[in-house]
Chain A
Amino acid sequence: MSDVKTDAPADAAPEPPKKTTLSITVDGRAHEAQPGQLVIDACEDAGTYVPRFCYHHRMNPVGMCRQCLVEVEGPRGPMMVVSCMTPVAEGQVVRTETPGVKRAQEGVLEMLLANHPLDCPVCDKGGECPLQDQAFSHGPGESRYVEEKRHYEKPIPISDLVLLDRERCILCDRCTRFADEVAGDKLIHFISRGNATQVNTFPDEPFASYFSGNTVQICPVGALTATPYRFKARPWDLTQVESTCTTCAVGCRIVVQGSRDQLLRYQGVDSDPVNWGWLCDRGRFNFEAVNSDQRLGTPLVREQGELRPTGWSEALARAAQLIREAVDAGGPGSVAVLGGARGTNEDAFAWARLAHDVIGTPHVSAQLGDGMPVGLLALNRATIDEAASASTIVLLGPDLKEELPVLYLRLRDAAEKRRSRILEFTPKPGGMTRYAWKSIGYEPGTQVGAVHAALANDEIAQQLGAGNVVIVAGRANLAETSAAQVAALGELLAAVPGAKVLPALRRGNVVGAVQLGMRPGKDGMDSRAALAAAADGTVECLILVGSDPLSDVPDADLARRAMAGARRIIAVDALPSPSTALADVVLAAAAFAEKSGTTTNLEGRVTTVGQKVTARHTARPDWMIAAQLAAALGTDLGLESEADVLAAMAELNDSYAEISAAALAAAPDGVLAHVPTTLDPINPPTVAVPDRNSYDFRLVVSRKLYDAAVGTAHSPSLAHLAGGATIHIHPADLDRVGAADGDSVKVTSKRASGVFQATSDTTVLRGTAWVPFNQPGGTVGELIDATAPVTDIRIENL
């Protein structure tokens, strides 16, 4: 076989190493370019910036703006080529600064500016505008155009978040290409022709993409502006700090920009292993919640039934007293600590120390009954890059478009560019379904059988047997326990032993929190058991670290009984929630961008989080609250600064042994933490799922990107985007119920019943019904019993 290496005969001359680069000349300088590279990129590598508007290295070149003209030596002498459409070739001679090139580039700029309104003084882009900058660096300096410019109504909203000024647009095709190639939401398009060409939506069909904010960031002029930032600041007044978005667990790199101690904007940073510069709109615009006037700025203590503001010493003393009372009454096990996944690694580490080492309780959980067993994180972990280059990506988890949007973009790209085939198992077809090679719908509880049947299929078995396999695993349905999902994952791992797993857990730093100890200790209860224990009084004291069981726990009744049953509740939070309203002590926490530190994304990548603004009033970081509470309980954790915490983390936690400020400074894309060795991998349970009565529907509950979550609800630009909790049923099933789209129906589970508006939805599988979780005005949690393997419901027309 030709690809088997054999020892070369001793007398043969050694072959010269094969050259893998192409030798080109840029402005007289020799340069080695990568095969397949475009001239515009090769020039940039060689130290020459070629002006451009339409070219964006994360999207296909189109040669739309013609600004990047350069001269390339050809058989008939030098000729002008568009450098973003010309690949490099061996021996190519490129000139970017000849009089001919200069004349051409000036001519293009004069043309692009002919219809541009030059309203830079009132334009948000002014100061960071590629058109403005390149008009200065590569433009002619004056225009011969004296005629009337084009006029359009301006600006027009193309979505709730994005405004379009068509006069400023230079028709570079960046936003429309983004919508098509990157987001897959082709809702904006070039309309009309010639001089009348404009970017626009279909009449009355807005650019309602979860990724619309990216078009504002990549617009090379001021044509697209985002409503939350419009007229808020000038670029030269902004200061910025690099950070990592912790809205979900993808961990997109961002810069946090602000002015006068107020957050104004997040921009995506192109991190090759993670987000490629993209952000979802929820992550991009939820900085408004940090600025919210509802923020908790001072600690609160309950007195005569009312929460009143107080100082930290009193609040900490009260909190310590509540913990001591609980420990005295029922031992350390009568305290449970829930949360920690919304903060930094430092926060999670300090709280884990406090919970396990100072209070001594094993009942600690970063997830709130909506996640997966922590053993998921002990499996052979894949990175996002490994997932996006695997031959097969198996999706056995949530709708990534709704829960981990930028991971959706990366995996969608893998499928679209035909690097990977996606094999999806889902109880409700979602955002990824149209890109899937095979999408296997299953009724909740039957996923083990679905996986089993799929593995028996020759085509699928062959696909899984060829090349690497990455399983993206998480919780697809909140109206069932995680047992069947874990069993299905176990089944897959047994069949494909080499498969790596990318945990699809949602909360920003959930992986960091679990790895750093915010997980049940020996004989510790998970959150569901801890809440049940609180409900029956065995757990006396609930400590909520940035968690809101009343909104986050799928089983609403359990959460309510737990909050009522716990005699002492300490809440650490940055914004008021239904749960903080019931707390005895509320400790005001610093929010995102009010503290620095590190965070861990779902692949285990540790990146920095930066502080841009001072914390609201006397709010302080969670880790500091943990250290002070430990002190109030008589233990010095020895954590006096964030650097102390980072050092202690590296010292005490093997996964984080290589994490240090220096290591992070040297690697802006982050450092991968080791997969914990101290965790026991998941243990696939045997699940007994009852058969569904043919009159019943099996309930699927999952999250949408926009919901009533505290960060979204307190961001005015996003809050109204949450769609509401209607029950989605297949039209044929809706007929069977005797209801029509929009009718109110009565939905009854074993637990409770409620009235929902019915929505006819062909994506919902027959025999199932889907309701989005935690929507404004929604009550679907009332139907869910956290201990039941599945939730069957009866639907009646009212």
Chain B
Amino acid sequence: MARLTDANVVVAKEIIARFPRPKSALIPLLHLAQEQDGFLANDAMAHVAELVGVTAAEVYGTATFYEMFKFERVGRYCLNVCTGISCHLMGAWELLEHAEELLGVKAGSTTEDLLFTIEGVECIAACTEAPAVSVNHRYRYRVTPEDMDRLIDDLRHDRLGGEFPAHGVLARVRQRTPDNWAGTGAAAQQAVDAR
């Protein structure tokens, strides 16, 4: 895919300006890139490297440390079935197998229509509500195979509205800059460069 769009470059520069050193903005900028493309494209990582003044290899090394950054195209919905110990005891593996059969792909892969990526993940910190499932980091608790059928069907037919935005959209995590900062990215970057 692509480098950051011009609009995102403005946002990126505003984010960079909030930190004492540009390099500190690396992770927020990677979220921005993932929000743009749904995964971290090489061009986008190279662009982030330019923006924060490090090498692309450093960006790649940092990004690959984190499971939630994806490096290949993933589905619109990233379906994570928790296989931590509580969920495991409450039937997580059966649930995961059920989801695999339902979608016709193995855990770790994406459906051909690019709608679903299914993964088994380590504990997602919902042990009291096992077995737990998350879709693009939005949770469903005490999920039965029937719940899974319904969830997938609802997602497939887009019946859940805005609750599950496309993968990469981080409505709650996205860095927001104060309104009065809008459009001051270039000036802010100059201030950073001057440091």
Chain A residues within 8 Å of B, Cβ to Cβ: 185-193, 200-205
Contacts and interface: CB of A to CB of B under 8 A. Distances in A.
Given A185-B55, A202-B60, 14 more contacts: A186-B58, A189-B57, A189-B58, A189-B60, A189-B61, A192-B64, A193-B65, A193-B66, A202-B45, A202-B55, A202-B59, A203-B42, A205-B56, A205-B57
A544 B138 CA distance: 78
25 contacts: A186-B57, A186-B58, A187-B57, A188-B57, A189-B55, A189-B60, A189-B61, A190-B61, A191-B60, A191-B64, A192-B64, A192-B65, A193-B66, A200-B57, A200-B60, A202-B45, A202-B46, A202-B55, A202-B56, A202-B57, A202-B60, A203-B42, A203-B60, A205-B46, A205-B57
B42 A202 contact: yes
Contacts of A204: 42
B193 to A, nearest CB: 13
Contact of A187 (B42, B46, B55, B66): B55
B55 A193 contact: no
Interface in B49-97: 54-61, 64-67
Contacts of A190: 61
B51 to A, nearest CB: 15
Interface in B13-68: 42, 45-46, 54-61, 64-67
Contacts of A203: 42, 60
Contact of B64 (A186, A187, A193, A201): A193
Nearest to B53: A434
Contacts of B61: 189-191
Contacts of A188: 57
Nearest to B67: A193
B30 to A, nearest CB: 14
Contacts of B60: 189, 191, 200, 202-203
A403 B190 CA distance: 33
Contacts of A202: 42, 45-46, 55-57, 59-60
Contacts of A192: 64-65
Contacts of B66: 193
Most interface-central of B46, B56, B67 (chain A CB within 10 A): B56
Nearest to A204: B42
Contacts of B54: 186
A439 to B, nearest CB: 15
Contacts of A186: 54-55, 57-58
A185 B58 CA distance: 11
5 closest A-B pairs by beta carbon, nearest first, are A189-B61, A202-B56, A189-B57, A202-B57, A186-B55
A190 B57 CA distance: 9
Interface in B102-141: none
A193 B68 CA distance: 12
A193 B62 CA distance: 10
Contacts of B45: 202
Most interface-central of B42, B56, B61, B65 (chain A CB within 10 A): B61
Most interface-central of A188, A189, A193 (chain B CB within 10 A): A189
Contacts, number: 40
B41 to A, nearest CB: 10
Most interface-central of A188, A192, A204 (chain B CB within 10 A): A192
A190 B59 CA distance: 10
A550 to B, nearest CB: 39
A213 B59 CA distance: 24
Nearest to A196: B64
A436 to B, nearest CB: 16
A188 B56 CA distance: 9
Nearest to A192: B64
A158 to B, nearest CB: 10
A193 B54 CA distance: 20
B65 A201 contact: no
A201 B42 contact: no
A187 B42 CA distance: 15
Contacts of A200: 57, 60
Nearest to B62: A189
A412 to B, nearest CB: 16
A186 B45 CA distance: 15
Contacts of B55: 185-187, 189, 202
Nearest to B65: A193
A184 to B, nearest CB: 10
Most interface-central of A201, A202, A204 (chain B CB within 10 A): A202
A189 B42 CA distance: 15
A424 to B, nearest CB: 19
Nearest to A187: B57
B21 to A, nearest CB: 15
Contacts of B59: 202
Contacts of B46: 202, 205
B159 to A, nearest CB: 36
A734 to B, nearest CB: 20
B97 to A, nearest CB: 24
A188 B57 CA distance: 6
Nearest to A190: B61
B166 to A, nearest CB: 24
A435 to B, nearest CB: 14
A192 B42 CA distance: 15
A203 B61 CA distance: 11
A585 to B, nearest CB: 52
Contacts of A189: 55, 57-58, 60-61
Nearest to B45: A202
Most interface-central of B45, B54, B58 (chain A CB within 10 A): B58
B2 to A, nearest CB: 15
B188 to A, nearest CB: 21
Most interface-central of B42, B57, B58, B64 (chain A CB within 10 A): B57
B73 to A, nearest CB: 15
A207 to B, nearest CB: 8
A728 to B, nearest CB: 19
B50 to A, nearest CB: 12
A191 B42 CA distance: 14
Contacts of A205: 46, 56-57
Contacts of B67: 193
B59 to A, nearest CB: 7
Contacts of B64: 191-193
Nearest to B49: A202
Contacts of B65: 192-193
Nearest to A179: B57
A188 B60 CA distance: 10
A346 to B, nearest CB: 45
A200 B58 CA distance: 10
A193 B66 CA distance: 8
A433 to B, nearest CB: 14
A188 B64 CA distance: 13
Nearest to A193: B65
Nearest to B55: A186
A202 B60 CA distance: 6
A174 B46 CA distance: 24
A200 to B, nearest CB: 8
A185 B54 CA distance: 10
A175 to B, nearest CB: 12
A185 B46 CA distance: 15
Interface string B128-163: 000000000000000000000000000000000000
B8 to A, nearest CB: 20
A752 to B, nearest CB: 38
A200 B56 CA distance: 11
B74 to A, nearest CB: 17
A589 B38 CA distance: 63
Nearest to B59: A202
Contacts of A193: 64-67
A203 B67 CA distance: 18
A188 B58 CA distance: 8
A655 B24 CA distance: 54
A189 B60 CA distance: 8
Nearest to A186: B55
A187 B61 CA distance: 10
Contacts of B42: 202-204
